[in-house]
Amino acid sequence: MSLDAIIERHRGREGPLLPILHDVQATVGCIDTAAEAAIAAALNLSRAEVHGVVSFYHDFTATADPRPCLELCRAEACQARGVEAMVAAAEAAAGDRVRLKPVYCLGLCSVGPNARIGDTLHARLDEASLVALIGQA
């Protein structure tokens, strides 16, 4: 789907900026300055307003990263279940091949530590299963 099509898809919504940004990030893999400018023009916003939103949220990136991404929950419930002790092994397993992204709650707090790859959630991880998951990413 093109940038223009994404903008048109959400233009009539109340508060279209975030849905547009999410779709551009998911479709293109990043929101570069050209996309920011086009979105700003389409929504009658300043480029600074759009850039401010893009740079505020960690889900949005200015350049595409082709590596697989594993989101590892580092929030309180997963911390209480030992995620911090697994981080060094996860980083070693990921190396430069897999992007490890800290996130702060995946909504499965009672069955942590948790991670997500794409749309798939992985619960009750221990160090061995987390390293294996990274190896499969």
The site for ligand FES (CB under 6 A) is made up of 73, 75-78, 105-109, 112, 114
Give, as one character, the DSSP assignment of residue 109. G
Closest contact distance (angstroms) between CB of 83 and ligand FES is: 7
Strand partners, 101: 71
Closest contact distance (angstroms) between CB of 61 and ligand FES is: 22
List CB contacts of 114: < 8 A, sequence separation 6 or more. Answer: 73, 78, 106, 108, 121, 122, 123, 125
Task: Indicate the residue among 47 and 74 with the shorter CB distance to ligand FES.
Answer: 74
**Three-class DSSP category at 74:** coil
Task: Indicate the residue among 31 and 115 with the shorter CB distance to ligand FES.
Answer: 115
Q: How many CA atoms are closer than 13 Å to the CA of 72, on its beta-carbon side?
A: 29
Task: Indicate the residue among 35 and 106 with the shorter CB distance to ligand FES.
Answer: 106
Torsion 63-106-22-1 (CA) sign? positive
Task: Indicate the residue among 76 and 91 with the shorter CB distance to ligand FES.
Answer: 76
Closest contact distance (angstroms) between CB of 110 and ligand FES is: 8
Closest contact distance (angstroms) between CB of 129 and ligand FES is: 15
Task: Indicate the residue among 54 and 108 with the shorter CB distance to ligand FES.
Answer: 108
- Give the whole-angstrom CA distance, residue 31 versus residue 64: 8
Closest contact distance (angstroms) between CB of 78 and ligand FES is: 3
